[in-house]
Structure 1
Amino acid sequence: MNNWVLVTGGSRGIGRALVEALAQRWNIVFTWRNDEQASIEVATSCSDSPGWVAGYQCDGSKQEDVDRLAPELLARYGAPYAVIHNAGVTLDGLHMQQNGDTWRQVIETNLNAVFYWNKHLLPAMMSQGEGALLLMSSVSAIKGNIGQTAYGASKAAMVGLGRSLAQELGRFGIRVNCLLPGIIDSDMTRNMPSEALKALRKQVPLRRLGTAQEVAAAATFMIGAESRYMTGQTLVLDGGLTA
């Protein structure tokens, strides 16, 4: 097992589920920003997995962080088989009440970081003649939500970026797709008042929230050989929320 996959933002929630699922098939490098203990717990949970797992501190919204780490990873491990751009923030707030700092932080973390990583990793992946990029977008890219203008804009931009990249990279054997999860069971939803959570479930035709493991299963398919003729696509995983 020589191939490795980069998962940005892999220490919590969907990111952790991605790391744990993908380590059953590949070696995994994941990034974390603030919570070192959480990153240690992720690596420990994967200690018996077929693939090795390594976590690195990196704030992808800061180009200098990516410029430092990306060459180190390439020198140590070679070109990745796949990159899953998962790191993101929401920072919800009504558009007219947002300030420039909040807006820029969302765009830097959710969108610009993708560019920073791609500039380093894509040339190496192009040289090896195969690979996959998966952009973790959101149903907020296609369904408006009050208070999520910055988040929705960044996630919609990922869809457009992915489609254009698929056109550019197909001749190098690199596939580019987007995954759009809906309302996923998380610490945030578990801390909601019971009535609010009940109302949230009613918005979903399947009458339940998705799980991080279901998102990870879809991601595994989208970067794996089973989807080798799939590129430039968006897969919506939302229990019918946007039907």
Structure 2
Amino acid sequence: MPADAIPHSGCTVDLTGQVALVTGASRGIGRAIAERLAACGATVAAVARSVDGLAGTIEAIRSAGGTAEAFAGSVASSEDVSRIVSEVEAKFEKVHVLVNNAGITKDGLMLRMEDEAFRDVLETNLFGAFYFTRAVGAVMMRQRYGRIVNISSVAGLMGNPGQANYSASKAGLIGFTRTVARELATRNITVNAVAPGFIETDMTDVLPDKVKDVVKDHVPMKKFGQVDDIADLVCYLSGPGARYLTGQVIAVDGGMTA
């Protein structure tokens, strides 16, 4: 199912009255997550580099009867993140759910990788999650309630040649998740990570068929996942049913890491 479709408004997780902040919400997995949370009743604060980039996400949510607002800035900038969280809190008063999804890749073999490529990926994928968790965590501490979901990757669990920077950032996010889960547990705040495998997105669509076939050969289920597979799990982790689930890393990968 395409990411621009909200398949069901009758979501089994009731997030009515809650505010969910989703980074990297302009496309792919982030957009699917934003739309699913809205379908389940949450008011979505969608974050990306530009408001224009979020237009499709906001329109899809509103057309389906949901509520969403766009907030622009760089997740790699501590100043931008502080501003965005302040704006979200000023507009909606609370933040119940944080989904740290924003991420980039700058692939290359480690021995040939430039400093900038390694630094940029770490600053977006790992530092960005830290900045948002620190800022939103303070809001959640005052509320004594919160759900934080970090989007890691199977690359952070098993490594992937040509992605030393990306794998390091996603593995770091797993360690970050487990530590923050321990720190915030007594305040009724859960912190979990989702580790997607190969998911059908714009990035995988451009891969040659031969490459796709090779990838599928390494997946026990012999197929790519869908963005809805990730969005459904994030929605569950964001709801009341996951109240005793924290510090966990859940791989959605068709059995790759089994």
TM-score, length of structure 1 as denominator length: 0.96
How far residue 14 of structure 1 moved from its aligned partner, in angstroms, is 0.3
Q: Which ranges of structure 2 fall in alignment gaps of 5 or more residues?
A: 1-15
Does residue 102 in structure 1 map to residue 117 in structure 2? yes
How far residue 20 of structure 1 moved from its aligned partner, in angstroms, is 1.0
Distance of 1:159 and 1:115 partners within structure 2: 12
Once the two structures are superposed, the pairs formed by residues 1-243 of structure 1 within 5 Å of their partners are 1-25=16-40, 26-34=42-50, 36-243=51-258
How far residue 24 of structure 1 moved from its aligned partner, in angstroms, is 1.2
**What is the identity, as a one-letter code, of the residue corresponding to 1:115?**
F
3-state DSSP of counterpart to 2:75: coil
Distance of 1:91 and 1:206 partners within structure 2: 28
Distance of 2:52 and 2:212 partners within structure 1: 29
Distance of 1:233 and 1:96 partners within structure 2: 33
Distance of 1:110 and 1:166 partners within structure 2: 18
Which has the higher mean CA deviation after the structures are superposed, 186-195 or 133-142? 186-195
3-state DSSP of counterpart to 1:175: strand
**What is the identity, as a one-letter code, of the residue corresponding to 1:136?**
I
Distance of 2:44 and 2:99 partners within structure 1: 11
How far residue 37 of structure 1 moved from its aligned partner, in angstroms, is 4.1
3-state DSSP of counterpart to 2:193: strand
3-state DSSP of counterpart to 1:214: helix
Q: Which runs of 4+ in 1 moved over 3 A?
A: 48-51
Distance of 1:60 and 1:120 partners within structure 2: 12
3-state DSSP of counterpart to 1:134: strand
- The alignment of Structure 1 onto Structure 2 pairs a total of residues equal to 242
1:124-160 per-residue CA deviation (whole Å, 9 max, x = no partner) reads: 1111111111010000011111111111111011111
| Residues 79 and 121 in structure 1, CA contact (< 8 A), matched pair in contact too | no
Distance of 1:121 and 1:79 partners within structure 2: 9
Distance of 2:235 and 2:25 partners within structure 1: 14
**Partner of residue 10, structure 2:** none
How far residue 188 of structure 1 moved from its aligned partner, in angstroms, is 2.2
What percent identity do the matched residue pairs reach? 34
CA-atom RMSD in angstroms: 1.3
1:193-241 per-residue CA deviation (whole Å, 9 max, x = no partner) reads: 2122112111111010000111101111111112111001110100001
TM-score, length of structure 2 as denominator length: 0.90
| Residues 144 and 152 in structure 1, CA contact (< 8 A), matched pair in contact too | yes
3-state DSSP of counterpart to 1:23: helix
